[in-house]
Amino acid sequence: MLKFQVFDGDRPAKAWPLRNSYLIGADGNAVRAEITLKDGIITAEKREAGTAALALQHQVGDLGELTIQTCLLPERDEPYLLVLELARHRLMTLYTKLEDWGMFELADDHPVTRRSLHARERFIEALCIQHEEPARACRLAHECLVAAVDGTEELALAHAELLLNRRKSTGSLPKSPIGCGVTIEHNDDRLKNGIHANFDYVQLPIPWKMVAPEENEYHWDRMDDWAQWAGHLHLPVVAGPVISFEPSCLPDWLYIWEHDYDTVRDLIYEHIEKVVSRYRNIVTMWNIVSGLHVNSHFTFSFEQLMDLTRMATMLVKKIQPHAQVMVEVRQPFGEYYAHNARSIPPMMYADLILQSAIAFDAFGLRLPMGQAVQGQYTRDLMQVSALFDQFAHFGKPLYLTVSTPSEPVTSMMIADPLSEDPVDDVSGYWRRPWSQVVQSRWAEAVFQIAISKPYVEAIAWQDLIDYPNIELPLSGLLDEEIRIKDSFRKVVGFRKNLRQIEAHSGGPHTDPNPPAENGAGI
C-alpha cells in the first residue's frame, strides 16, 4: 500500500481530484490498484508487491492541468507528501534528459538552466522541512514542480531545435513529412484543393462500419471518390486503420461473433482482402491494425491478438508486395492496462511483434489529447518527446497522428466524485484552457519536436475538419463551416518553412509547385 498526504492550505485536504489516477510498476506498465482519498490521505491499494509510482492529473500552476507522476516508491507506513514526490520525479527527469541529450553545457542564462536551479533550491528547502512543516513543504514543492515542468518543456523544445537544425543541414528531412486526416463523408472540392496545396500526404480512414454496414454488403462510393482523387494527383495515401476494434470502426453485425474468434478471424481476413485488393494501386502505406493491444471491446486472448496482427500484415504483403505496412499503437501511455487484464501494455506489444518476426515496415502512434476519456488526458511536451524516444530503439520508422481541441470539450463535463459541483476541463489542459490559440501553439511545438526526431518519418493532424461524431470533438484544423483555425496556419507555416529549406538546399525533395500560403485553396 502506498499513501500520500495532500493539503488544502495548512490543513489536510478534504477533497482532492483523483482524475486519471493509476499506479505504474517498476517495468513501466500500469498496475491494478484501488485509489481512494480519506482525511487528507490518498491511499493506493495495489495487488502486486514491489515499488510503484502514482500518476494522476494535477494542477501545475500556470502550466496547465496535466497528468504527471511520482518516482517509484517503496511501501511504508508513513505517508509521502504527494507534491514533493511529484516534484522529485520531474526534477529527476530534467537532469536525466540533460544527460541523455548531452545538453549540460547550456549557458547560465538559458531558461532551462535558470529553471533547474530554481527548482533544485525549492526542492532542497522542501525536503529539509517535510516532517516539521509538511504544509509549507508542499508549497515549496509546488514551486519546484512548476519550475521543473517548465524547465523540461523548455529543454524538449531546445533539443528539438537542435535536432531539427541538424536534419535540415544534413538534408535528412523526410520526403513527405506533413499530412492530415480526412473523413470520407466530406469530399468538398475546397477541402481537396486545400489538402493538395498544403499537405504532403493524406490519411484516408476506412471505417469498416461505414464501408460494410451490413454483412457482405459493401458501399465503396465515398471511398472510391477520395481514392480516385488522390490517385489522379499522385498524392501519397496512408489508408486505414483497416482493422480497429474501436466502436466507431466496427460494424454492429460483427458483435454477433465477438466470442467466436475463428469466425471473427475469417471475417477480418475477407475484409482485408477486399479492401487491399480494391485500392492496392493507389495506397502508399496501409495502417492495417490499430490499437488491438488495448483489447477493450472484444475478449480475445494474448495469443489471438498476436495472431490477428501477424495474419493482417502477411495478407497485405501477399496482395500488394511492395506496399508499406504500419502497425498503429493507441493510448501509448498505457493507463488502460491498470483496468483491463486482457490488454497488452503498448511498449510490450511493440516489442513482441518485433520479436515474433511479423512482417511490417513502420509503427504508427495515435495521440489525441484533450478529452476526458481513457488515453486522451493532457500531458506536457516533455512527456510527449520522451514517449517518441521510447520507439527509437525498435529500429522502425515512426508515423505520428496527433490532435487537440480548439475549445474545451464541454460535452464531456462530468461530476467530480469528491465535489458536488460539475467540473469543466476534466481532461486537463496545456498552459491555458483549450482555445484556437492554445491548439495552434501546441501543434507548432509538437510538430517541431516530432520532425526533429531522426526516426520520425511523418506527422499528421488527425482530422482536417470538425464534423459530427469526430473522435475528438472540435479538434479539426477547420471548423464545420470550413473556416480556417489558427492551428491550420501554424501547421501550414511549419511545412512551408521545411519546403523552403529543401528548395534552398536543392535537395531531392524540392517541390516545383510550392504550397499555397495561409490556407489558399480552402
Q: Which pLDDT band holds residue 503 (cuts at 50, 70, 90)? A: low
Contact 460, 401 (CB under 8 A): yes
DSSP label of 338 = G
Average pLDDT, the chain: 91
Pairing status of strand 362-368 against strand 398-403? parallel
Q: CA dist 330 to 221, 327, 436, Å?
A: 29, 10, 25
Place of cell 495478407: 315
At residue 477, the pLDDT reads 98
Estimate to the nearest angstrom the gap between the alpha carbon of 364 and the chain centroid.
10
The span from the CA of 282 to the CA of 236, in Å, is 8
Place of cell 475528438: 472
Pairing status of strand 7-8 against strand 11-12? antiparallel
Domains and CATH numbers, the chain: 2-163 (no CATH), 171-519 (3.20.20.80)
Contact 317, 275 (CB under 8 A): no
Average pLDDT over residues 3-17: 94
Question: Which grid cell sits at 446?
Answer: 509538437
b/e per residue, 210-236, with b = 16+ CB within 10 A? bbbeeeeeeeeeebeebbebbeeeebb
Estimate to the nearest angstrom the gap between the alpha carbon of 39 and the chain centroid.
35
Query: How confident is the model over 29-57, as pLDDT tens digits?
Result: 999 999 999 999 999 999 888 999 999 99
Estimate to the nearest angstrom the gap between the alpha carbon of 148 and the chain centroid.
22
The span from the CA of 202 to the CA of 61, in Å, is 38
The span from the CA of 289 to the CA of 273, in Å, is 14
Identify the three-state secondary structure at position 282. coil
Query: How confident is the model over 157-191, as pLDDT tens digits?
Result: 999 999 999 999 999 999 999 999 999 988 889 99
Give Cβ neighbours of residue 522 (< 8 Å, ≥ 6 apart).
Answer: 190, 191, 193, 194, 198, 478, 482, 484
Question: Which grid cell sits at 319?
Answer: 496482395
At residue 443, the pLDDT reads 98
Sign of the dihedral through C-alpha 262, 268, 270, 273: negative
Torsion angle, CA of 199/428/379/432, rounded to 10 degrees? 70
Q: Which pLDDT band holds residue 508 (cuts at 50, 70, 90)? A: very low
The span from the CA of 183 to the CA of 64, in Å, is 31
At residue 258, the pLDDT reads 85
Of the ranges 58-67, 267-276, 395-404, 509-518, which one carries the lowest mean pLDDT score?
A: 509-518
Q: What are phi and psi for residue 332, nearest 5 degrees?
A: -70, -15
What residues pair up with 422 in beta bridges, in sequence order?
415
* Cα radius of gyration (the chain): 24
Query: How confident is the model over 409-444, as pLDDT tens digits?
Result: 975 433 344 334 444 558 999 999 999 999 999 999
Q: Which pLDDT band holds residue 501 (cuts at 50, 70, 90)? A: low
Residue 447 has pLDDT above 50, yes or no: yes
pTM for the model stands at 0.92
Residue 513 has pLDDT above 90, yes or no: no
For helices 82-100 and 381-390, angle between their N-to-C axes, nearest 10 degrees = 50
Pairing status of strand 456-461 against strand 178-181? parallel
At residue 357, the pLDDT reads 87
At residue 417, the pLDDT reads 40
The span from the CA of 54 to the CA of 149, in Å, is 17
Residue 198 has pLDDT above 80, yes or no: yes
Query: How confident is the model over 310-369, as pLDDT tens digits?
Result: 999 999 999 999 999 999 999 999 999 999 988 999 999 999 999 998 999 999 999 999
At residue 124, the pLDDT reads 98
Identify the three-state secondary structure at position 60. coil
Identify the three-state secondary structure at position 511. coil
At residue 104, the pLDDT reads 86
Average pLDDT over residues 467-496: 96
Higher pLDDT, 521 or 375: 375
Task: Give the DSSP per-residue string, 72-94.
Answer: -B---SSPEEHHHHHHHHHHHHH
b/e per residue, 48-74, with b = 16+ CB within 10 A? eeeebbbbbbbebeebbbbbbbbbbbe
Query: How confident is the model over 262-313, as pLDDT tens digits?
Result: 999 999 999 999 999 999 999 999 999 999 999 877 888 999 999 999 999 9
Sheet of 22-25, strands arranged across: 30-31, 22-25, 52-59, 64-69, 429-430
Task: Give the DSSP per-residue string, 183-242.
Answer: -TT---HHHHHHHHHH-SEEEE---HHHH-SBTTB---HHHHHHHHHHHHHT--EEE--S
Average pLDDT over residues 120-131: 97
At residue 229, the pLDDT reads 96
Place of cell 477493450: 296
Sign of the dihedral through C-alpha 428, 433, 439, 441: negative
Average pLDDT over residues 131-154: 97
